[in-house]
Amino acid sequence: MTSSSPRKAVVLVSGGMDSAVTIAIAREQGFRVHALSVAYGQRHSSELDAAARVAQMLGAVEHKTVQVDLRSIGGSALTADIDVPEEGGEGIPVTYVPARNTIMLSIALGWAEVLGSTDLWCGVNAVDYSGYPDCRPAFVEAFERLANVATKAGVEGAGLRVHAPLMHMSKADIAREGARLGVDFGATVSCYQADAQGRACGHCDACRLRAQGFRDAGLPDSTRYA
């Protein structure tokens, strides 16, 4: 492992509005952002194009995309031939991807250790979200504990941290924070079934939460719709 630098951060970037704001917050706090995306077999691959745009636009020093084939296990409307629902329902929705955030943070943890970074950042949110279990404070706290017992850096006392700055923010709060930080939301893709050009369907859970956030914040919705 290289020498530790508290100014380096590995930031998970999906291409959506939440991860874009997360990068902007990390940059504002003085971190050199190493942006990480995961191509996990999601049907909406245009989000990966958006992730590359967002990382460059917001000043990441590098952007890496790692391939993980979650389609091989399926179990989600985002990785298998299951229809994406247009209305939210009770319980955990079919758009939940089994173990996705655990896998993504694990890859981020490995890269952070190689870089000599002690700071992982992710845009998970437990206020205006779809009910995923891996977007809750308990998950982030548990992963941080795991990071500090599962790695050479952690065992040697590096003090690894998982930052989730949006955890308790509403979508309107996130939209306002992004506007304050100069994030171009038109470059981001949140839709669960965006087309090849990254245009949103306007009906899925992600689209509805995003649109409501802009309305509640009193901000124009720069989303590109199909």
Round to whole Å and give the CA distance between 127 and 105.
20
Which whole number is the average pLDDT over 198-215?
A: 92
- Inter-axis angle of helices 46-57 and 17-28, nearest 10: 20
- In this prediction, residue 202 carries a pLDDT of 93
The encoded tokens of residue 203 equal 């009906």
- The yes or no reply on domain 8-217 and CATH 3.40.50.620 is yes
- In this prediction, residue 3 carries a pLDDT of 47
- In this prediction, residue 129 carries a pLDDT of 64
46 or 22: which leads in pLDDT: 22
3-state SS record for 80-148: CCCCCCCCCCCCCCCCCCCCHHHHHHHHHHHHHHHHCCCEEECCCCCCCCCCCHHHCHHHHHHHHHHHH
DSSP secondary structure letter of residue 165: T
At a CB cut-off of 8 Å and minimum separation 6, what does 71 contact?
40, 41, 79, 80
At a CB cut-off of 8 Å and minimum separation 6, what does 103 contact?
38, 40, 68, 70
Domain residue limits, the chain: 8-217
Q: Is residue 109 a contact partner of residue 161, using CB atoms and an 8 Å limit?
A: no
pLDDT in tens, 181-199: 999 999 999 998 899 899 9
What does the mean pLDDT of the chain come to? 88
- Whether 79 has a pLDDT exceeding 60, the answer reads no
Q: Is residue 28 a contact partner of residue 64, using CB atoms and an 8 Å limit?
A: no
